[in-house]
Amino acid sequence: MADLHSQQAAFAAHLRDPLAHPAPAGIEPRRMAVYRELFFNNIAGLLAGNFPVIRRTLGEDAWTALVRRFYAVHRSQTPLFPELGREFIRFLEERGEDTDPPWLVELAHYEWIELAVQIDDSPLPEHEPAGDLLEGTPVLSPWIRALAYRWPVHTIGPEHRPGTPPQAPTLLLVRRDGDGRARFAAISPLVYRLLELLGDGGASGRARLQALAAEAGVAADDAFIAQGSAMLQRMRGEGTVLGTQPG
């Protein structure tokens, strides 16, 4: 058993990083090459599907080198293929290479979050679909994410590789539609903060709008509350807000 374990470890080490670890003895070189290509191409194909913008923006050589490094050194926390994208982000966060574009981690997260929302199997919480969004407690869909990025990730690509971040953050909302597709939309700082407040739960929509006004340094007058109510209604119409808490 010890010999078998040693051989398996040597086999895996060679597959991960053939330049650093020689192939174990007793395996035909041609077959070893097939194994190397098969295992790496499986991982490379999955990552290419998750991160097509990064692949095009970095170029094929730099992308392949990055994937090979991930394949060689990263130790995943899960064996699930749908989690491979999250593992790649962890690798980029821990990597900390000065030669990497400064927006690389955020762009990876932006590309990954689409799949994360699409496959999210969180159940819908109990809610009253037609509840009063001002007097009741609004309930957010579990299939949304309010995102804040330092870099304008939705504009980065082969033709746009910014060297310095803009002064204002990029704020986005991603939500899953009834057809299962993820939709992205730019949102204002007020909408972003309102979504944060609503995510805390436990207070009425009116109370959350009043808190938002206080933070913004404006009066929570009838006009502000009316605009906020209309915003909540739009969120319900698009599925970001499901309704209100029962009872």
Lowest mean pLDDT among 29-33, 35-39, 94-98, 109-113: 29-33
**1: pLDDT strictly greater than 60:** no
Q: What is the pTM of this model?
A: 0.88
Compute the chain's Rg from CA coordinates: 24
Neighbours of 7 (CB within 10 A): 14
pLDDT in tens, 136-186: 999 999 999 999 999 999 999 999 999 999 999 999 999 999 888 999 999
Helix runs in 84-178, H state only: 84-95, 104-118
Walk me through the domains of the chain, giving residue ranges and CATH numbers.
2-100 (1.10.150), 138-244 (3.90.930)
Closest CA to 65 of 31, 40, 83, 90: 40
Top-confidence residue, 41 or 159: 159
Q: What pLDDT score does 117 carry?
A: 95
User: Mean pLDDT score of the chain, rounded to an integer?
Assistant: 91
130 burial type by CB count under 10 A (0-12 exposed, 13-18 middle, 19+ buried)? exposed
- Helix 2-16 and helix 29-50: axis angle, to 10°? 60
Top-confidence residue, 45 or 27: 45
pLDDT in tens, 70-127: 988 888 887 777 889 999 999 999 987 888 999 999 999 999 999 999 999 999 999 9
Closest CA to 240 of 148, 144, 146: 144
**In the 8-state DSSP scheme, what is residue 157?**
B
pLDDT in tens, 176-223: 998 889 999 999 999 999 999 999 988 999 999 999 999 999 999 999
